[in-house]
Amino acid sequence: MKHLLKMLDMSQEEIIDILNLADQLKYELKHGIPHPMLKGKSLGMIFQKASTRTRVSFETGMYQLGGHALFLSADDLQIGRGEPVEDTARVLSRYIDGIMIRTFAQKEVEDLAEYGSIPIINGLTDLSHPCQVLADLMTIREFKGSFDGLKMCYIGDGNNMANSLIVGGLKVGMQVSVACPEGYRPDPMVMDFAQKDPGFSITDVPLEAAKDADILLTDVWASMGQEGEIAKRRIAFAGYQINDEIMAAAKPDAMVMHCLPAHREEEITAKVFEEHAKEIFEEAENRLHAQKAVMVRLMAD
């Protein structure tokens, strides 16, 4: 694995390897065992979308691994004033050891990988959110013990989270059911991949998707950059909420996850959120451990 661009690029073996290393790094951190695996290394973090979890977890992760992280907002870079991505990639490759980018277009991430000579990590694009889904898979395995025989259900917008959860869930062997309204389905490239797998199903009936689910996931109805569509989306997604009715359709011991930030009483009720806060905030913490594993695999000598 040279880069982490999208879940579609990863094999099952690569995913499991990252999760195993993340478990190890989490154990070592909790027990005060140093792991300076990236001593002397630098990670450039390009942000064209704002962030809480992504910035703090990558910056802290690099520090814990003995390296250094540089925060690079679009306003601080020539890329924000029209310098081609390919030139930025070639320049930064001569200064630092890896780039994490959080941006809108998947093409920017792919171009950095094509023209640069250092590892590129997708911190989020409109297509994919692989770092979050690796943390999600880590959390599922922590709570459930393994992926064998599990059904994962996603309810809501067919956005970057849906795209990445579908691919990641199927690649580790889970059944994946999705409930999205017409017009808000996952990316066609993801649908082409998923519909070849007998473990995948998609519907516009949330209760149908949630039936006998072991894991329920959702995300905000309007992602960053879609603020102008909020009123329209509230109408389209009415009924696509994780609530007591949905929980009753899932298995009694179903876990609930949310990538955050959560809009209570929209995609999830406050009641369900608080009842499953343990899983949700463990999931948030696991961003740190999963991303450290990614950085070690891509950037360690």
Query: Is 259 flagged in the annotation as binding?
Result: yes
Query: Is 88 flagged in the annotation as binding?
Result: no
Separation CA 155–CA 238 (nearest Å): 12
Q: What is the largest CA-CA distance in the chain?
A: 55
Query: Is 287 flagged in the annotation as binding?
Result: yes
Residue 226 falls in the annotated catalytic set: no
Query: Is 102 flagged in the annotation as binding?
Result: yes
**For residue 79, what is the DSSP state?**
G
Query: Is 186 flagged in the annotation as binding?
Result: no
Q: Which one is catalytic: 55, 106, 259, 276? A: 259
Separation CA 136–CA 141 (nearest Å): 9
Residue 94 falls in the annotated catalytic set: no
Query: Is 54 flagged in the annotation as binding?
Result: yes
Query: Is 55 flagged in the annotation as binding?
Result: no
Chain centre to alpha carbon of residue 296: 18
Residue 153 falls in the annotated catalytic set: no
Q: Which one is catalytic: 219, 276, 289, 291? A: 219
Q: Which one is catalytic: 48, 64, 106, 132? A: 132
Query: Contact 121/101 with Cβ under 8 angstroms?
Result: yes
Q: Where are the beta strands (DSSP E) in 156-205?
A: 175-179, 200-203
Query: Is 224 flagged in the annotation as binding?
Result: yes
Residue 287 falls in the annotated catalytic set: yes
Q: Which one is catalytic: 102, 141, 258, 276? A: 102
Query: Is 20 flagged in the annotation as binding?
Result: no
Q: Which one is catalytic: 3, 129, 141, 276? A: 129
Query: Is 64 flagged in the annotation as binding?
Result: no
Chain centre to alpha carbon of residue 117: 24
Separation CA 88–CA 85 (nearest Å): 5
Query: Is 180 flagged in the annotation as binding?
Result: no
Residue 244 falls in the annotated catalytic set: no
Within 13 A of 173's CA, how many CA atoms are on the CB side? 9
Q: Which one is catalytic: 3, 55, 141, 287? A: 287
Separation CA 222–CA 260 (nearest Å): 12
Query: Contact 190/168 with Cβ under 8 angstroms?
Result: no
Residue 132 falls in the annotated catalytic set: yes
Binding-site annotation: residue ranges for carbamoyl phosphate: 51-54, 78, 102, 129-132, 259-260, 287
Binding-site annotation: residue ranges for L-ornithine: 160, 219, 223-224
Binding-site annotation: residue ranges: 51-54, 78, 102, 129-132, 160, 219, 223-224, 259-260, 287
Q: Which residues are catalytic?
A: 102, 129, 132, 219, 259, 287
